[in-house]
Amino acid sequence: MVPIRDDNPITTTPYVTYTLVALNVLVFVYEATLSGPNLEALFDTFAVIPRDLSTSFSTGLGFPHVTEWGTLISAEFLHAGFFHVAGNMLYLWIFGNNVEDQLGHLKFFVFYIMCGVLASLCQWYVAPDSTVPSLGASGAIAGVMGAYIFRFPDVRVLTFIPLFFAAVRIPALLFLGFWFVEQAFYGVASLGVSADVGMNGGVAYWAHAGGFVFGALLGYWLGLFNQNAGHELERYEPEDS
């Protein structure tokens, strides 16, 4: 199933969502200019290498190991191919603007980055000795979706179903719920095999499932489910004289 748009208007301009989409696209365009060896070097430097991350955790704050922690953020802006970045940006475009609208710009940015970091740590936890680069915005976007499903469960999502070559409107609860169950199922099935998006890798299902769960938890912690979330400043109508 492929989402096309949601029936969920916003009240503010989602500047952070637009900026994140632009940054991801620009980084991918830069990746496209690199030769194979240079692209692999870029991934080795800025993507999460689980085994290197494990080493950094065991060596404390000593340089250069501490720099490996930075890949938990830099990896969120790397992608392994056109369909990888296009799919991720489609989901971010559709669901990110509403979560940003509710949280506010700064909270949403912090929320997004934290979801990506925690999602990568979930993938690292199930395969701490992997040498396959783990990269992509999927974990952070999964966090956005995890928050969205609880904040807007009844919103209709126009969804293209390739099997029937038709577009139908289905509740976000059904669309995103199915996506999460699918990621969790494949995550369990992938235990013990390479499961990172990257050079010669697969799909980071545990990053997706973990990001989704942490997105819901962080959304609650940041007040997303409060009725006035993202609208701290009340709007007053002028009184009649």
189-220 pLDDT tens trace:
544 444 344 333 456 777 888 898 999 999 99
Write down the domain spans for the chain.
2-221
Looking at residue 195, its pLDDT comes to: 37
Q: Is the pLDDT of residue 96 over 80?
A: yes
Provide long-range contacts, Cβ within 8 A and 24+ apart, for 52-59: 53/124, 53/128, 54/124, 54/128, 54/129
Q: Is the pLDDT of residue 168 over 50?
A: yes
Looking at residue 140, its pLDDT comes to: 95
More confident residue, 49 or 57: 49
CA distance 135 to 85: 11
Task: Look at 35-49, 171-185, 212-226 and tell me which has the smallest mean pLDDT.
Answer: 171-185
CA distance 146 to 132: 26
Looking at residue 65, its pLDDT comes to: 57
Which phi and psi (to 5°) does residue 161 adopt? -110, 100
CA distance 144 to 112: 7
Looking at residue 189, its pLDDT comes to: 54
116-129 pLDDT tens trace:
999 999 989 988 88
Q: Is the pLDDT of residue 61 over 60?
A: no
More confident residue, 240 or 56: 56
Using pLDDT thresholds of 50, 70 and 90, give the confidence band for residue 10: very high
Q: What is the CATH number of domain 2-221?
A: 1.20.1540.10
Looking at residue 201, its pLDDT comes to: 45
Q: Residues 64, 58: contact at Cβ < 8 Å? A: no
Buried residues in 90-109 as b, exposed as e (16+ CB within 10 A) = bbbbbbbbbbbbbbbbebbb
